[in-house]
């Protein structure tokens, strides 16, 4: 009788805690990565390989960059396929995306890699203009007639990937993914970092986002922050550091 009563009490406690509490207690082995604007997810290969070797299941979302809403939907579609709690990673504009998509129940933690971390009502354009990159080259950001942004291929290496080999940076410039004006001007909703733990990596040599802005956003969000001397393409130039931070996050939310 006593044993039955204890089981009943335990069952009630779990029910009251809800599905999120149960999921958060599980070991986190799923990692979903969201790339930023002007690059696709293929540049995350070295980070993915490093995580896979440590036993993580990694999925890289190839969102369309057509609107913030479309990109959030693309991430949610992938999150729905995960088999348990997940660490959600975003780079650059991808930080805007994971801030919304991270509200999905099975997201256990967020990792921002040289990324925007908006609060409610903030857009990427608003954040970027609040603290521009010091001495940023003028005319680097261009737009097509139908209002899709891209980086001038000549300026791309300096702005995005200054610490990659020249040939690699030039290839990225030629293969960049354009982003819609709508994606950059849409205001963020309720940020997931207000209810879930987050980590942030500041790229101290970033020429696309002011590193001080990265620090300020991370501090406001209460993110556990680390810094790496790297360009905006830190995920490609310093993949081991990026992978290590993701592992730190996954281990922390598994406890």
| 40, 177 Cβ separation under 8 angstroms | yes
Q: How many CB atoms lie within 10 A of CB 183?
A: 26
pLDDT band at 7 (very low <50, low <70, confident <90, very high): very low
d(CA 177, CA 36): 9
3-state secondary structure at position 85: coil
Predicted local distance difference test score (pLDDT) of residue 102: 98
Predicted local distance difference test score (pLDDT) of residue 25: 52
Note the pLDDT tens digit of each residue in 184-224: 999 999 999 999 999 999 999 999 999 999 999 999 999 99
pTM: 0.90
pLDDT band at 98 (very low <50, low <70, confident <90, very high): very high
User: How many residues are recorded in the chain?
Assistant: 255
Predicted local distance difference test score (pLDDT) of residue 26: 78
Q: How many CB atoms lie within 10 A of CB 147?
A: 12
Query: Is the sign of the CA dihedral 93, 95, 96, 102 positive or negative?
Result: positive
Helices then strands, counting H and E runs in the chain, come out as 11, 9
- Range 144-155 average pLDDT: 97
Rg (CA), the chain: 19
Name the strand (E) or helix (H) holding 188.
none
d(CA 25, CA 40): 32
d(CA 54, CA 49): 9
3-state secondary structure at position 225: strand
Note the pLDDT tens digit of each residue in 53-92: 999 999 999 999 999 999 999 999 999 999 999 999 999 9
């Amino acid at each position: 009788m006593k044993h039955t009563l204890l089981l009943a009490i335990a069952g009630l406690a779990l029910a009251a805690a809800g599905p999120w509490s149960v999921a958060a207690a599980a070991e986190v082995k799923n990692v979903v990565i969201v790339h930023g604007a002007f690059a696709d997810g293929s540049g995350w290969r070295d980070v993915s390989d490093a995580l896979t070797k440590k036993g993580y299941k990694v999925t890289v979302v190839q969102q369309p960059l057509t609107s913030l809403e479309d990109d959030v939907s693309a991430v949610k579609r992938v999150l729905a396929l995960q088999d348990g709690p997940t660490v959600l990673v975003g780079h650059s504009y991808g930080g805007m995306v994971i801030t919304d998509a991270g509200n999905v129940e099975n997201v256990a933690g967020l990792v921002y890699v040289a990324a925007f971390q908006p609060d409610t009502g903030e857009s990427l354009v608003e954040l970027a203009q609040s603290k521009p990159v010091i001495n940023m080259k003028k005319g680097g950001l261009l737009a097509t007639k139908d209002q899709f942004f891209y980086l001038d291929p000549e300026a791309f290496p300096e702005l995005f990937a200054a610490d990659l080999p020249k040939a690699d940076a030039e290839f990225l410039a030629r293969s960049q993914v354009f982003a819609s004006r709508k994606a950059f001007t849409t205001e963020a909703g309720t940020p997931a970092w207000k209810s879930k733990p987050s980590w942030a990596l500041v790229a101290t040599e970033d020429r696309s986002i002011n590193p001080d802005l990265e620090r300020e956003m991370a501090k406001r969000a209460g993110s556990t922050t680390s810094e790496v001397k790297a360009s905006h393409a830190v995920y490609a130039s310093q993949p081991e550091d990026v992978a290590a931070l993701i592992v730190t996050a996954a281990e922390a939310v598994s406890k």
